[in-house]
Amino acid sequence: MNSSQYIVRFLCSFFEIFRAYIVEIKVYTNRADGKIIFDDGEKQKFVWHFSDSNYIMKSILLLDILLQKRWIHNDQIITSKQELINFLKLEYWEESEIIKVIDYTCNIQIFMIDEGEETDSFFIHF
């Protein structure tokens, strides 16, 4: 996969948390923008300004684990941070990377675009 494919794959996992799916996307050097559709048919434009994609692959894995284990509801991780860390250690994640990946993922903000302006944002947290 090239870097833009990783960005798209990450956004697919990220928006799945909100029961939304990408219907349009363009990836540029340091941003991705597009449109998602929610289960109820509502559409929302978005933009993600990113500068560091070093943890994108691990972040995809983290999001997929949170979804698979049902440890996330809406935008909130509903397991404890320590339980998540312990689980990732059992999955052979490097201990030095675990906190960095969790922090990276929890610091991502993807802005909603309404009438051409960045308004609210999508994010996840404990």
pTM of the entire structure? 0.94
d(CA 36, CA 71) in angstroms, rounded, equals 23
Q: How far is CA 90 from the centre of its chain?
A: 22
In sequence order, which residues have a C-beta less than 8 Å from that of residue 52 and are 6 or more positions away? 104
Residue ranges per structural domain of the chain = 3-122
Nearest residue to 67 (alpha-carbon basis) of 111, 31, 21, 14: 14
Single-letter residue type at 118: E
d(CA 23, CA 104) in angstroms, rounded, equals 25
Query: What is the reported pLDDT for 126?
Result: 96
- Whose tokens are 């993600």? That residue is 48
Query: What is the reported pLDDT for 3?
Result: 86
pLDDT, tens digit, for every residue of 38-94?
Answer: 999 999 999 999 987 789 999 999 999 999 999 999 999 999 999 999 999 999 999
